[in-house]
Amino acid sequence: MSVPAAVLPDAVFLFAEVCKRYEPYLAACRENIVRDLRDAPSSAALAGYFERGKMVRPALVFLSAAVTGGDPADALPAAEAMELLHGAALIHDDIIDRADERRGLPAVHRAVGEPAATVLGDYLILRSFEVLARARERVAPEAVLLGVQLLSRYAQECCRGQILELTPPENHASEQQYFSIVRGKTASQFGAAVTLGAIFSGAAEEEIRALRIFGMNAGIAFQIRDDELDLAGDPDVLGKPAGNSLEAGRPLLPLIYLAKRGSAEALAAVSAFRNDRFGRRELMQLLAAEGALERVRRIKERYVNRSLRALAKLPPSAARNALRTVAVYSAYRER
């Protein structure tokens, strides 16, 4: 189940088709979150925030339930919990990065202030566990307990990844450090989403294991694509400023490869970029000339293909094809 080159230009279209097919579940997830937050502090700011977004993680919850023979509706609380947890992470990220915009709106901390936004992020984390517990109305209690334990574990992994990202390395960040960050910060959310959906459908252990491997690898590819978009993305398409991670000095895989393999002239130019801030376009040209972008592309494809090989262990179905689409979209999306 490798990625044919002809599929890549259609990744966005195919993902839109998946979302259309699962629109009743995605719409219910979004509507429930917005309704649930009506009584939350600063509810107006939060409602607008959750009315937008790609809904990749909820889609993974529903698809993993469907691919293992369950009813996606039973996994609705898990999808809501994942989106709330993701929203909390984005709010905290934007505070750390001093970002001005998210999802085409002012970042939450710009709307309500940093202290209030910090507490709102904490509120959403706590709310995600209460929402997840509602699954006991349709799912066996032992599955709900396992889901709460799993969500807690993955949320902690996400925090570990974020803390590691904010810890400056002694020299340049290494490839090993980068992937440790990514596994915690991003891949853990993808792993949680597919595992929760499978648990709530009563999936067999080998199915859960295959989905966890799928989710972790797809999540890594998703974050690598985020690095590419931070360097080369269009802010109007992204719905947020490009270059935030670059300006904050976050580890980015293209720059790690350049530091590891680049010429002395290229390294001097990157130093000049950080001091004099020449444009992202010039930096991209440099990364392309030094082969860093090609290396990133090959590594990203490696993780996509790992996710698809894990997916191939599940029986063929429309839901499995849809999961494949989500993995490819994650790695080649434009926002």
What is the chain's alpha carbon radius of gyration, rounded to the nearest angstrom?
Answer: 20
Q: What is the CATH number of the domain that holds 117?
A: 1.10.600.10
Residue 111: exposure state from Cβ atoms within 10 A (0-12, 13-18, ≥19): middle
Q: Which parts of the chain register pLDDT below 70?
A: 1-9, 170-171, 233-244, 248, 271-280
Rounded to whole angstroms, the Cα distance separating 176 from 282 reads 27
Q: Quick one: residue 314, left, alpha or beta (phi over 0 = left, psi -120 to 50 = alpha)?
A: beta
Pairing of strands 101-102, 105-106: antiparallel
Token pair of 244 as six digits: 């935030």
Rounded to whole angstroms, the Cα distance separating 55 from 326 reads 11
Q: How many domains does the chain have?
A: 1
What is the per-residue pLDDT across 116-132, written as a single tens digit (0 to 9) for each?
Answer: 999 999 999 999 999 99
What's residue 98's pLDDT? 85
What's residue 261's pLDDT? 84
Host domain of residue 311: 5-332
Measured between alpha carbons, how far apart are the two ends of the chain, in Å? 25
Token pair of 163 as six digits: 């803390």
Rounded to whole angstroms, the Cα distance separating 203 from 330 reads 24
**Tokens 């369950």 belong to residue:** 70
What pTM was estimated for this model as a whole?
0.92
Token pair of 79 as six digits: 């999808």
What's residue 234's pLDDT? 66
8-state DSSP, 255: H
Token pair of 155 as six digits: 């949320």
What's residue 277's pLDDT? 52
What's residue 131's pLDDT? 95
What's residue 242's pLDDT? 64
What's residue 53's pLDDT? 83
What's residue 296's pLDDT? 93
Instruction: Give the three-class secondary structure for 289.
Output: helix
* Residue whose C-alpha is closest to residue 82's, from 187, 193, 198, 159: 193
> In Å, what is the CA distance from 293 to each residue of 3, 6, 252, 258, 285?
19, 20, 11, 9, 9
What's residue 41's pLDDT? 81
